[in-house]
A and B are shown apart, each in its own frame.
Chain A
Amino acid sequence: MELDWSTFLLEIVNFLILIWILKHFLYRPVRASIEARRERVAAALEQAEAARAEAEQARAGLEAQREALAQERGEARAGLERELAAERERRLTALAEELEREREKAQALAERERTETERRTQEAALALAGRFAGRLLGAIASPELEAQLIDLVIDQLPDLPEQRREDLATAVAHNDAAEVQVQSAYPVTEYRRQALADALRQAAGQDVACSFSLEPALIAGLSIDAGALLLGANLRDELRFFAEAGQ
């Protein structure tokens, strides 16, 4: 149990040698191996991190692309909606204009139909009134009525307008027959023949020869034919005028 100096010194030397041995043959290789493994792990982690960053970047890119596509889609949709609204507005305007035109056309057509209907109704009414007046006047026609009409002519001839007077004078002057043909529905008395001739001479401003004849179609009244001028004061002509005036 005593301290042996040889053992003491040899143990010191042995331990120092053992430090060198273990340092070079155990610690250094093992630590190098561990360090190499750590570096590999770190490299793998770094590679994984790089891959993750790359994936993240790709994801961000895809996200940005998706957002851009969404924005582009939104803009396209907004543009399409604007175009649709404009097209709808344009078509609505065109449709409204067309409807307006159709409405105006329908109104014009309706107006024309109404006017035509009124005209037809009026014509029918006038025709009916003419027939009614014809039957009525035919029923009440008589020499007395005719005499009253002749008296009316005799009274109104002096009051003819100046233009009619000149026309009468011109017609009498250029009449090849040299006489005025007077037709009546009933025989005219001599007195009224003379009064009528006087009235014509006074209206024409020259002598007028009159020849009288019967024309029952006149219903009542007389018709004066001076060649270029025809004067009528009978129911037939009045009814005809009435019917033509209605048309």
Chain B
Amino acid sequence: MEPDAMFAQTLFRLGPVVIRDTVATTWLLMLLLWGGAWLVSRHMLTRPGLVQTAVEGAVTAMEDAVRQALPHHAEMVMPFVMTLWTFLVAANLVGLIPGLHSPTRDLSATAALAVLVFLSVHWFGIRAVGLKDYLRHYLSPTPILLPFHIISEITRSLALAVRLFGNMMSLELVALLLVWVGGLLVPIPILMLHIIEALVQAYIFGMLALVYIAGAIQTGALAERPGPDTEQDAEPQP
């Protein structure tokens, strides 16, 4: 394996658009997920089989997690957060297949996801409580904290991108170094760690996105209608 293989490689160009293996792998994953979803949802059985049970269990678990954080806005947020978890699990684990690399070991992909989370926080916050009330929470409890709010929004999104990129990049880098140093089968324990780390990082990324969105909706709701007897969503547990 060449050292350059650790980083995203340009496959071809379409004018100004550069197509790298990250995007190609993402398209492959999209196709696989689409096909898998189509196969699973084509014949939903009353008495589900093993695959249907696993899929229903995964969807139900993700739905329950979202409903715990946002009981009143779960339907609105659910597709975004569940897609984050699904895509990140697939993207993090696809690096285990020889010849393929995780899209999340590319900072451009993780930055794109972080920017999506950043934008979705505001999007869902504004949809939940309205633009005026949502923006008002940046001025609470005092307008002096506005710069800190903005810095916090940027840095946590940046942290999201760098955390996922750094972890996935380091996993592949360690596996590559072990192959170089120890041989072909030596990095297998590290690959086991790769599985765990891929699942953990997907969970962390999606859960943090959910927490950020829930925080935006709740703080906007508090700014809209302050008081101890609010019926809005509960304080999210990260």
**1/0 contact string of A1-44 vs chain B (CB within 8 Å):** 11111111111101111110111011101111110010010000
CA distance A12 to B108 in the complex (A): 10
The total of chain A residues at the interface (CB under 8 A) is 32
CA distance A170 to B12 in the complex (A): 194
Smallest Cβ-Cβ distance to A34: which chain B residue? B56
Residue of B nearest to A14 (CB): B26
Given A14-B27, A30-B59, do A3 and B107 touch, yes or no (CB 8 Å)?
yes
Do residues A1 and B7 form an inter-chain contact, with CB atoms below 8 A? yes
A8 touches B112 (CB 8 A): yes
Known A27-B78, A30-B40; judge A7-B20 contact (CB<8 A). yes
The answer for the CA separation of A89 and B201 in the assembled complex, in Å, is: 100
CB distance from B109 to the nearest CB of A (A): 5
Q: How far is the CA of A16 from the CA of B8 in the complex (A)?
A: 22
Cα distance A5–B33 when bound, in Å?
Answer: 25
| The residue from B16, B22, B60, B116 contacting A7, defined by CB atoms under 8 A apart | B22
- Residues from chain A with Cβ under 8 Å of B26 in the complex: 10-11, 14
| Residues on B with beta carbons closer than 8 Å to the beta carbon of A4 | 8, 18, 20, 106, 108
What sequence of 0s and 1s flags, for each residue 98-125 of chain A, a beta carbon within 8 Å of any chain B beta carbon? 0000000000000000000000000000
The answer, yes or no, to whether B188 is at the interface (CB within 8 Å) is no
B166 CB, min distance to chain A CBs, angstroms: 11
* In contact, B108 and A33 (Cβ under 8 angstroms): no
* B60: nearest chain-A partner, CB-CB: A34
* Contact present for A19 and B107 (CB under 8 Å): no
A21–B32 CA distance with the chains assembled, in angstroms:
11
A11–B17 CB distance below 8 A: no
B59 adjacent to A34 (CB under 8 Å):
yes
Query: Chain B: interface residue count, which band?
Result: 35 or more
- Least CB distance, A170 to chain B, in whole angstroms: 145
Cross-interface CB contact of B37 among A12, A19, A21, A40, cutoff 8 Å: A21
At the interface, yes or no: B143 with Cβ under 8 Å from chain A?
no
- Docked-complex contact B7 and A31, CB < 8 angstroms: no
Give the CA-CA distance A14 to B46 in the complex, in Å.
33
Contact with B along A156-187 (1 / 0, CB 8 A): 00000000000000000000000000000000
Given A3-B108, A18-B30, A22-B33, A30 and B23 contact (CB-CB distance below 8 Å): no
Which residue of chain A lies nearest to B39 when distances are taken between CB atoms in the complex? A25
Other-chain contact of A1, B34, B46, B59, B107 (Cβ < 8 Å): B107
A15–B19 touching, CB < 8 Å: no
Alpha-carbon distance A27/B86, docked complex (angstroms): 11
Cβ-defined contact, A10 with B23, below 8 A: yes
Q: A10-B17, A11-B26, A21-B34 are in contact. Are A30 and B78 (CB under 8 A)?
A: no
Assembly CA distance A18 to B27 (angstroms): 9
Interface residues of B in 66-91 (CB under 8 A from A): 78-80, 82-83, 86-87
Q: Does B63 contact A (CB under 8 A)?
A: yes
- Contacts A15-B87, A30-B40; A22 near B82 (Cβ below 8 A): yes
Check A31/B46 contact, CB under 8 A, given A1-B7, A15-B87, A21-B37.
Answer: no
A141 and B156 alpha carbons, distance in the complex (Å) = 176
Is B23 a contact partner of A11 (Cβ separation < 8 A)? yes
27 contacting pairs across A/B (C-beta < 8 A) = A1-B107, A3-B108, A4-B18, A4-B20, A4-B106, A7-B109, A8-B109, A9-B112, A10-B19, A11-B22, A11-B108, A12-B112, A12-B116, A14-B23, A14-B30, A15-B87, A15-B112, A21-B34, A21-B37, A26-B36, A26-B41, A30-B44, A31-B63, A32-B44, A33-B44, A33-B48, A34-B56
